[in-house]
Amino acid sequence: MGLYDALNKEQKKAVCQVEGPLLILAGAGSGKTRVLTHRIAYMIDEMGISPWNILAITFTNKAAGEMRERVDRMVEFGADQVWVLTFHSACLRILRRHIDRLGFDNGFAIYDTDDQKAVIKTVCKHLNIDTKAYKERTLLGAISSAKDELISVEEYAMKAQGDYSKAVYAKVYREYQDTLKKNNALDFDDIIVKTVELFKACPEILDSYQERFRYICVDEYQDTNTAQFELVRMLAGKYRNLCVVGDDDQSIYKFRGANIKNILDFEQHFPDAVVIKLEQNYRSTQSILDAANAVIGNNVGRKDKSLWTSKGSGDRIHFRQFDNAYEEAEYIARDIVKKTKNGNASYGECAVLFRTNAQARLLEERMIMEGIPYNVVGGTNFYSRMEVKDVLAYLKTIDNARDDVAVKRIINVPKRGIGNATLDKLDAYAFAEGTSLYGAMEVAKSVDALSKVAGKIRPFVELIAEARRHSTEMTVAELIRYLLEQLNYAEYLEEYDSDSAEDRMENVEELIAKAISYWENAESPSLTGFLEDVALVADIDTVEDGDNRVLLMTLHSAKGLEFPYVYLSGMEDGLFPSFMSIASDDVTDLEEERRLAYVGITRAMEDLTMTCAKSRMTHGEIQYNAISRFVREIPSDLMDEVVPTPKKKIDFADDYLGFDTRPRATVRPKVTAQADKPFIAKGIGSLNQLAGISKGVPAQTDTEIHYAVGDRVKHIKFGEGTVLGLVREPRDYKVTVDFDNAGQKIMYASFAKLKKI
């Protein structure tokens, strides 16, 4: 057991528990990747299990690559037979072999977000749907949510009966799926959904993979959605040797369809499951862990665990509040400069985390002013750049001519004089004949309705046909260079924008470098494989190790990373947690925000700084926010600066806003408790409007109420509570109530129907 001596007691227990269902609750920084890789090595070396029978699934290419490397180092023979892949990569391997059973060609295309948007635009046009009334992004979101929950087109249509809007969504969903099928394409959700469909439609194929993968490990299980859960359940259904590893306290992707119940209810689905908690943290100091434990302990929907470390207490958490966001950004930048000049840190050891992308701008400006090298994670993805997408669209068309989205993108790149009228004719013919756009182009010469446009499109068709012939004998890199030469693409970029042409060609060269690397490292390199590899790249996979730059990123992007020095900026109620989560009737929304705070805190290894601003420009208006409740949930003895405590009775202008914003002659309202809603400054007029709530007596509106600030009231759903605030609006009152059991809620009086008690 020499290989396993470095593991702690609980880690060893998890490694040796091989048979049957196993839930490993792995707290942040508890060495879960070490456990997973040692477990695979133990199964092969100690238990004699064939590597062929092991499947390890994770979420990002980066995590899969790291696990792959560790397994290869630990297992001398047969490691390459273990599938260590992301969900999507594993499903793609299966679909490439068997999707013809579902009526697709095996060389199907994978559509990214931009491709999906192009399809939905075409769908809305065909169905004459007003995209002002039904936003394209909303329609795509509804389709994605349906797929996450494995709701088919037919089931969606059944549920939509009697609801006009839902019926429109159902029509769009059906047409969207039909278009993808016609284009021989899948979107990212389909990759999982179609695999589940395949297993349900073809039990013999499911059985073959159940026999193949008798031992299954799933990492980051808290991030799985319903479709992924069903996929795993089906694969593990025969032998039930399923090990899932995750941390319910780090479930932060509800907006992407993640279902925290998958991990919370694991023991209900597998009553005989063994549960092992990994609570020893190897990343952070005890002060940081105590802060994280204190915050997450306020959540109800979680499994009990508490992180600890043998590293020692370390420095206390730094808290700083500033008058505005400019001062906050200035402090963070100068503090980083100070750390690097003192030799305490390098730039690459520092990360600045924030709740929303909009916060990055001020931080970037300060980094530039201080001469700090930095990268913004989650900015424009390399593969989303115009010139890269152009080249990829050509490669997609060569690989799969049924991909109408790719064809439409490049038909005039470079310009060929093919206008919308020509495309409309081709599109109409393709739609009527049930063929692809490129298919219509190929036969245009022999079709009366298209014969006039055949001359314009012939050079394009001939170029693709010739490139397709070359693709069987060229590497992807050689094929790209061939295309660039045939298209005079460098010249096209000069005409498009001479100022950016050089940078854009550098990006194309970078794509060629990627193609060379792929060809050298892939087991069976192909054009299809390259396009598949590119399609599965995530933002965080592009973060380079050893790059000595400060990283600026959202809290969601930071998951899975760690840094010696972390700055959590914008720690304000209304920003983090967001106002939507504070005002939501669903308590799980606020709990997800708290889990996000927990993730942010536990990214720090040695030093954690939390900052906030009293005022911040948001949507063109100055917004005044209170200090985040997540900061207040941290015990004061863990902080190096006292966090101001809100008084039971505060002066709204001075204490809540942080400074007096109005002339002394203005009536200044008194509020008995700090409202959850952030205050939006729209000028003196709006501030004076609040004067009506002074002494709890509101001004005249169309709604009559019979209670005031401080009164006890009763709500039909939330029960009894105390009125904290009343804000007069043109036709109603906005009422803030602290309910005894439901907590603080903000509602309109006419809907709330509160009764004074």
Mean pLDDT of all residues belonging to the chain: 86
The pLDDT tens digits of the residues spanning 222-234 come to 999 999 999 999 9
Query: Does residue 10 surpass a pLDDT of 80?
Result: yes
**What pLDDT is recorded for position 692?**
34
State what percent of residues in the chain have pLDDT above 90.
56
Report whether 751 contacts 716 (CB < 8 A). no
**What pLDDT is recorded for position 499?**
78
CATH homologous superfamily for the domain 2-96+193-280: P-loop containing nucleotide triphosphate hydrolases (3.40.50.300)
**What pLDDT is recorded for position 380?**
59
The pLDDT tens digits of the residues spanning 158-179 come to 999 888 889 999 999 999 999 9
Report whether 314 contacts 287 (CB < 8 A). yes
> 671: pLDDT confidence band, cut at 50, 70 and 90?
very low
Half-sphere exposure (Cβ direction) of 195: Cα atoms closer than 13 Å: 27
Rounded to an integer, the average pLDDT of 140-147 is 94
> 94: pLDDT confidence band, cut at 50, 70 and 90?
very high
**What pLDDT is recorded for position 174?**
96
CA distance 383 to 381: 5
Which one-letter amino acid corresponds to residue 472? T
Q: What is the dihedral of CA 195, 198, 203, 209, to 10 degrees?
A: -30
Which of 357-366, 606-615, 636-645, 733-742 comes out lowest in average pLDDT?
733-742
CATH class of the structural domain 382-536: mainly alpha
Token pair 């902080």 is found at 639
> Higher pLDDT residue, 62 or 286?
286
Q: Using alpha carbons, list the distances in angstroms from residue 333 to 326, 543, 561, 628.
A: 11, 21, 21, 22
> 670: pLDDT confidence band, cut at 50, 70 and 90?
very low
**What pLDDT is recorded for position 536?**
77
Query: Does residue 733 surpass a pLDDT of 70?
Result: yes
Query: Does residue 656 surpass a pLDDT of 80?
Result: no
Q: Does domain 109-183 match CATH 1.10.4080.10? A: no
**What pLDDT is recorded for position 674?**
34
CA nearest to 650, candidates 626, 671, 676, 675: 671
The top-scoring range by mean pLDDT among 71-80, 106-115, 128-137, 602-611 is 602-611
Q: For the whole model, what pTM was predicted?
A: 0.73
Report whether 273 contacts 22 (CB < 8 A). yes
**What pLDDT is recorded for position 604?**
97
Query: Does residue 675 surpass a pLDDT of 50?
Result: no
Rounded to an integer, the average pLDDT of 216-221 is 95
Structure tokens at 691: 């004067």
The pLDDT tens digits of the residues spanning 278-318 come to 999 999 999 999 999 999 999 999 999 999 999 999 999 99
- Sequential DSSP letters for 192-259: HHHHHHHHHH-HHHHHHHHHH-SEEEESSGGG--HHHHHHHHHHTTTT--EEEEE-GGG---GGGT--
> 429: pLDDT confidence band, cut at 50, 70 and 90?
confident
State what percent of residues in the chain have pLDDT above 70.
89
Query: Does residue 659 surpass a pLDDT of 80?
Result: no
CA distance 329 to 718: 40
CATH architecture under which domain 292-380+545-638 falls: 3-Layer(aba) Sandwich (3.40)
Just list the catalytic residues: 32-33, 219-220, 250, 603
> 419: pLDDT confidence band, cut at 50, 70 and 90?
confident
Report whether 692 contacts 698 (CB < 8 A). yes
Do 2-96+193-280 and 292-380+545-638 show the same overall fold?
A: yes
What SS3 string covers 428-458?
HHHHHHCCCHHHHHHHHHHCHHHCCCHHHHH
The pLDDT tens digits of the residues spanning 524-570 come to 899 998 998 888 765 445 555 557 899 999 999 999 899 999 999 99
> 658: pLDDT confidence band, cut at 50, 70 and 90?
very low
> Higher pLDDT residue, 155 or 666?
155
Which of 404-413, 446-455, 708-717 comes out lowest in average pLDDT?
446-455
The pLDDT tens digits of the residues spanning 696-706 come to 333 334 457 88
**In the chain, where the domains are located:** 2-96+193-280, 109-183, 292-380+545-638, 382-536, 650-756
Rounded to an integer, the average pLDDT of 386-390 is 91
Query: Does residue 680 surpass a pLDDT of 80?
Result: no
